[in-house]
Amino acid sequence: MDIDGEKGGTVELGMIGMGRMGSNMARRLLEAGHRVVVYDPVPEAVMAVVAQGAVEATSAADLVSKIAAPRTVWLMVPAGDPTESAIASLAAELSSGDTIIDGGNSYYKDSMRRAAALADKGISFLDVGTSGGICGLAEGYCLMVGGDTGVFRHIEPIFKSLAPLPDRGYGHVGPCGSGHYVKMIHNGIEYGMMQAYAEGFELMQAKQEFGLNLYRIAEIWRYGSVIRSWLLDLTARALQDNPKLDGIQAYVEDSGEGRWTVQESVELGVPAPIITQSLQARFRSRQNQPFAARLLAALRNQFGGHAVKKAE
């Protein structure tokens, strides 16, 4: 991995949350020559990044003490209460002129509220929608930044180093809340794309008379096809490793952004049928013998005498 520290100069920052995303982001910043102070409640997670050149912190307060003012602290913790608690703890330690970045998948209205509360204390807030997953360390992260433009410009070297290229894959999208809003819509689109791939490949898998090799078809589509994408690349990889998807249950979680996108569709009165249906498909995947399907069978029996398949 070749990440040049000249992508806009080096800075120092603190990072809280050394899970898979946070630790890889810290490593990428270290490769670019930035000074990174890291903290996580799990000491082993901290030490793994310290071994790569980061500076250890034993608490949020310790982390703040090891960064020169004006300070920048990037949070990569789960949305909801963990983020709320982390921001509250940091706000008590930071000073006017410092900056908090939330790079997690927070609800955009929460980000707007947090930005307003921090502004009263003179602390800047950037909400950064972050995409890239476990491949981000090597390939870079897509970053959608909301907040004050001046603050964004001041710490832009961080974004340049995390992005796939110094001038590609990141940008300031609007005021506080907009970064997480754009990421929310991004994930809603992702839901729809994933569902379309899943349905298409299921149709081909069901056409037994052709004996279709789904991995080979995915590989063909990856080059020149109008539906080529990174998601298709990942589809090909999954089918190569496990052509029949043995051992994988048809149970699909959702992390929240799809629900928020559908809620936004309702609030704005803007139709989003594909995203909505893809979310509903995930709900259905978690049900065993869903009541609605059983009621349909019972209704057919009631009005037409159609046979009902009894449960074993």
Residues recognised as catalytic: 183, 190
Q: What percent of the chain is helix, strand and coil (3-state, nearest 5)? A: 50, 15, 35
Rounded Cα gap, residues 276 and 192, in angstroms: 8
Local structure of 23: helix, strand or coil: helix
Burial code (b: 16+ CB inside 10 Å, e: under 16) for 74-85 equals bbbbebeeebee
Burial code (b: 16+ CB inside 10 Å, e: under 16) for 171-185 equals bbbeebbbbbbbbbb
φ, ψ of residue 221 in degrees (nearest 5): -65, -25
First to last CA, the chain: 55
Burial code (b: 16+ CB inside 10 Å, e: under 16) for 110-138 equals bbbebbeebeeeebbbbbbbbebeeebbe
Rounded Cα gap, residues 218 and 108, in angstroms: 35
Residue 211: count of CB within 10 angstroms of its CB: 6
| Secondary element (H or E) of residue 15 | strand 12-16
Q: What's the number of CA atoms in the CB half-sphere (13 Å) around residue 168?
A: 4
Tokens of 120: 């009263």
CB 78 within 8 A of CB 86: no
